[in-house]
Amino acid sequence: MSTYLQNLQNGLFELFSNNSRVILLGEDVLDPYGGAFKVTAGLSTQFPNRVLTTPISEAGITGVAIGLALRGYIPIVEIMFGDFLTLCADQIINHATKFPNMYRDVTCPLIMRSPMGGGRGYGPTHSQSLEKMFLGIPELKLIAPSHYHQPGQTIQHIATQEINPVIFIEHKLLYRETLQLNSEALPLILKTDETGYQTAILRNYDVGIPDVCLIGYGGISRFLPELLKKLAAEEIRIIALLPESIDPVPIEMLAHFAAEAGRIVIAEESTEGFTWASGIASQLYENLWGKLHCPIKMVTSARCAIPTAIQQEADVLISSLNIENAILEVISWA
């Protein structure tokens, strides 16, 4: 079984082989370096005219990519760290997403690949999860595969099916994780939801009704193998939902499974306040009012800058223990 990184690499190679309109732009993406996290390793050697290294100017890179998209190419931009999406915000929000609505017969199939998240001691400006800053933007989709998905297939789907901008979120700590597609301990179902993308559905039990529905995305998946096994040993039945598409969100599917449990925990690595989790909770309250046994519990990282020191960073970021405590809290409600 391949790792998240290998699967994504394979998906990019297949995409470049099958579609000559695909171009990749980014900083230090050429061999032998192959990108800061080595996702593009080998790509420039095989496709030298379609992998372009750029100056250190995220706004400039994005602007050029938008122009390529408008001219019929499918540009993939690698933003070295997700924190730097702030430098692309004007190009994404005020240009890429607007052009299809402002002009007739215009599409902008731009893909922004962006490593997000902490856990590697990279400090305050290289460890954030800033996806919540881009939620709710018209004509902009955010896709964040977990390691229960196949990110390589997902990026191919985006390149062939989407005609407007997509931010593709890759959590740094998933790159080396082995894809969990055939786990006997945690039965997995990948179900295409109403967004057209897949939601991974995990259970730590065989029969019965779940005690808690846990909802998360992307890097949250790395906590689940051990956490769900531990809770199973304590006879706490968990159904975990990991949608690839975090905006738009498959609220119908989430509500369907959450209603069965009646107790909901939503986890994400963004900082506390005005989060993806709060948006999902609001929609679930609207859909499930009267069916819930207790308030929805949201788990996030602390609302502060992320330290560089590993232990201090761990104290700030969301953890498996945070999620476990939230699950125990909602179970404690009568």
How far apart (Å, rounded) are the C-alpha atoms in residues 196 and 314?
A: 35
Q: Are strands 188-192 and 198-203 parallel, antiparallel or unpaired?
A: antiparallel
How far apart (Å, rounded) are the C-alpha atoms in residues 107 and 98?
A: 10
> Which residue type does 178 have?
T
CA dihedral 161, 39, 81, 110 (to 10 degrees): -20
**Per-residue model confidence (pLDDT) at position 334:** 67
Radius of gyration of the chain from Cα atoms? 20
- Pair 60, 95: CB distance under 8 Å: no
Smallest CA-to-CA distance from 275 within 318, 322, 327 is with 318
Q: Token match 């994005």: residue? A: 62
Q: Reduced to 3 DSSP states, what percent helix, strand and coil does the chain have, rounded to the nearest 5? A: 40, 20, 40
Helix (H, G, I), strand (E, B) or coil at 245: strand
pLDDT category at 186 given cuts 50, 70, 90 is confident
Percent of the chain at pLDDT exceeding 90: 96
Tokens of 189: 């179902």
Smallest CA-to-CA distance from 108 within 131, 133, 91 is with 91
Sequence-distant (≥ 6) Cβ neighbours of residue 235 within 8 angstroms: none
Q: Please say if the pLDDT value at position 36 is more than 80.
A: yes
Q: Please say if the pLDDT value at position 184 is more than 70.
A: no
Summarize pLDDT for 266-278 with one digit per residue, the tens: 999 999 999 999 9
Residue 189's beta-bridge partner residues? 201
Percent of the chain at pLDDT exceeding 70: 99
Average pLDDT estimate for 277-295: 96
Check residues 1 and 234 and name the one with the higher pLDDT. 234
pTM of the entire predicted model: 0.96
Summarize pLDDT for 52-72 with one digit per residue, the tens: 999 999 999 999 999 999 999
Smallest CA-to-CA distance from 150 within 129, 174, 166 is with 174
Structural domains of the chain, ranges and CATH numbers in brackets: 4-174 (3.40.50.970), 188-331 (3.40.50.920)
**Per-residue model confidence (pLDDT) at position 217:** 98
The two most distant CA atoms of the chain are separated, in Å, by: 63
Tokens of 220: 């949250």
Summarize pLDDT for 107-130 with one digit per residue, the tens: 999 999 999 999 999 999 999 999
Residue 167's beta-bridge partner residues? 112, 142
> Which residue type does 137 have?
I
Distances (CA, A) of 115 to 89, 145, 151, 169, 216: 16, 12, 13, 6, 17
